[in-house]
Amino acid sequence: MAAARHFIRTQAQSLSDENRFALLRPQLEINPKHPIIKKLHKLTSSDKELANMVAQQLFSNAMVTAGLLMDARNLITNLPP
């Protein structure tokens, strides 16, 4: 998978994020025993809005780490004031 990401990063820079996702068909795996996921699950019962923001941030971080987002600066607009 890393070779495919490297190819897309270097050869297909003109593709939109959506087209890159279609080519790679990435899969997010979540460890339900991880402390962050456990706390996120507890948070859903007390503050659903915050839990949603945390889940979106985790997903965005995973996308950046996997090299699937070319420009992570757009994520800054998703942060709360």
Whole-angstrom Cα distance, residue 12 to residue 60?
A: 21
DSSP alpha helix (H) spans, the chain: 2-11, 17-24, 35-46, 48-65
Q: Where are the domains of the chain?
A: 2-78
Global pTM value? 0.64
Q: Residue 81: is its pLDDT beyond 60? A: no
pLDDT-above-70 percentage for the chain? 62
Query: Which 8-state DSSP code applies to residue 32?
Result: T
pLDDT at 63: 82
Q: Which two tokens stand for residue 1?
A: 């998978």
Using CA atoms, how far residue 78 sits from 40, 62, 64, in Å, is 18, 15, 14
Residue indicated by tokens 């971080």: 61
